[in-house]
Amino acid sequence: IATKLPKVGTTIFSVMSQLALEHKAVNLGQGFPDFEPPQGLRDALGRAMNEGRNQYAPMHGIAALREQIVLKTEKLYGRRLNVDTDITLTSGATEAIFAAIAATVRAGEEVIVFDPAYDCYEPAIELQGARAVHIPLTVPAFAIDWQRVRDAVTSKTRMIMINSPHNPSGAVLSAADLDELAAIVRETEIVVLSDEVYEHIVYDGAHESVLRHPELAGRSIVVSSFGKTYHCTGWKVGYAVAPAALSAEFRKVHQYLTFCTFHPAQAAFAEFMASDPQHYLELPAFYQAKRDRFRALLAPSRFKLLDVPGGYFQLVDYSAIRDEDDLAFSRWLVEHGGVAAIPLTPFYERAPGTRLLRLCFAKSDATMEAAAERLCRL
């Protein structure tokens, strides 16, 4: 049949996880913790399922959880959201991103994305009959060249997507970056879609959320994911925050995409966030210890480690080990080195030929040690 998505195959995350299984490799590829969510959260999920939270949740999410998001957003970003109009719970950030694009971008319009870009962005844009305009981030800082953005904006630009902390590089946007963005979208109809799923995993200083920037917050859809924050990527619960008029459009799509999100998990997050408001405040220290441990383990290897300002991925330069592109090297590594990693090429329109791989350090000490032992042999 005539495909609507000719460029799309199986995602590199599934491909590498499958190869990791086949070759009994340590899986540092697909980004997910290999440790469990907090016990209190799991207990709360069990209670929710045993105490009658098993039917449809309200379309935009249960009030108790939206209230927790209001509290968090005010505490961290100084912004008071309207609990009824501004927040919609979704089935992971993935659903929120798709709904945000489908709700705002029309056929023939353009969406600016920065490469390397998380892989669910472009297919969602193409399914609207719109076009992704790719701007490469600088290497090795993975920063935005704002002049290139100014040059790329046309009368067709409907959306600019940003992602901070960035997957795969961990780069974070500064307050000055957000000011640059605000100046570009001012007096246009451009909507900003800000993917902030790693908002609580920032190592030096605070996360610069779009929600802290009053001008941008007034025209943005900000997406987050409980999967990253509470070590439960398999529960697939996320949310979108947007001003009332934009939320209303977003909800028109969400209503018919999924209608509502897994009810027991919403009840569990609401209960756990109320009982342990420290969890996300402790996350930077928790992951910084893992980052520092992983970097120390890899120090004797021939991999060159790039800086990691945020997120739970370490980029490594493998050029001292083999001279081949990242697709070939990641395949060689899983087959002969016993470690699965993620190449960056699939996240580019035009791959720049860097010799970089992404390794996930959201892992137990034992997993990191097993991987490092193999990586240090190369």
Which residues of the chain form contacts with ligand PMP (CB under 6 A)? 31, 92-94, 118, 163, 167, 195, 197, 225, 227, 233, 236, 238
DSSP string, 293-345: HHHHHHTTSSPEEPP--BSSEEEEE-TTT--S-HHHHHHHIIIIISEE-EESG
Position of minimal CB gap to ligand PMP = 92
Position of minimal CB gap to ligand GLN = 31
Q: What residues between 22 and 61 interact with ligand GLN by CB under 6 A?
A: 30-31
Residue 91 in the binding site for ligand GLN (CB under 6 A): no
| Min separation Cβ 30 and ligand GLN, Å | 5
Q: Encoding tokens for residue 70?
A: 């209001």
Q: What residues between 156 and 195 interact with ligand GLN by CB under 6 A?
A: 167
Helix ranges restricted to H, the chain: 12-22, 39-50, 63-77, 92-104, 121-126, 146-152, 175-185, 214-217, 226-229, 244-257, 263-275, 279-298, 326-332, 365-376
Of 13, 146, 332, 348, the one binding ligand GLN by CB under 6 A: 13
Query: CB-wise, 86 or 195, nearer to ligand GLN?
Result: 195
Q: Which of ligand GLN, ligand PMP, none does residue 238 bind to, with CB < 5 to 8 Å depending on kind? A: ligand PMP
The torsion angles phi and psi of 218, rounded to 5 degrees, stand at -70, -10
> Residue 242 half-sphere exposure, CB side, CA atoms within 13 Å?
29
Query: CB-wise, 118 or 269, nearer to ligand GLN?
Result: 118
Q: Which of ligand PMP, ligand GLN, none does residue 194 bind to, with CB < 5 to 8 Å depending on kind? A: none
The Cα 179–Cα 360 span in angstroms is 31
Contact 181, 192 (CB under 8 A): yes
Contact 220, 326 (CB under 8 A): no
Contact 172, 202 (CB under 8 A): yes
| Min separation Cβ 117 and ligand PMP, Å | 9
Q: Match 């056929």 to its residue by tokens.
A: 107
| Min separation Cβ 99 and ligand PMP, Å | 12
Q: Which of ligand PMP, ligand GLN, none does residue 163 bind to, with CB < 5 to 8 Å depending on kind? A: ligand PMP
Nearest to 257 by CA among 109, 44, 34, 59: 59
| Min separation Cβ 218 and ligand PMP, Å | 23
Number of residues that bind ligand GLN (CB under 6 A): 5
| Min separation Cβ 313 and ligand GLN, Å | 8
Which value, in Å, is the radius of gyration of the alpha carbons in the chain?
20
Question: Which residues contribute to the site for ligand GLN (CB under 6 A)?
Answer: 11, 13, 30-31, 167
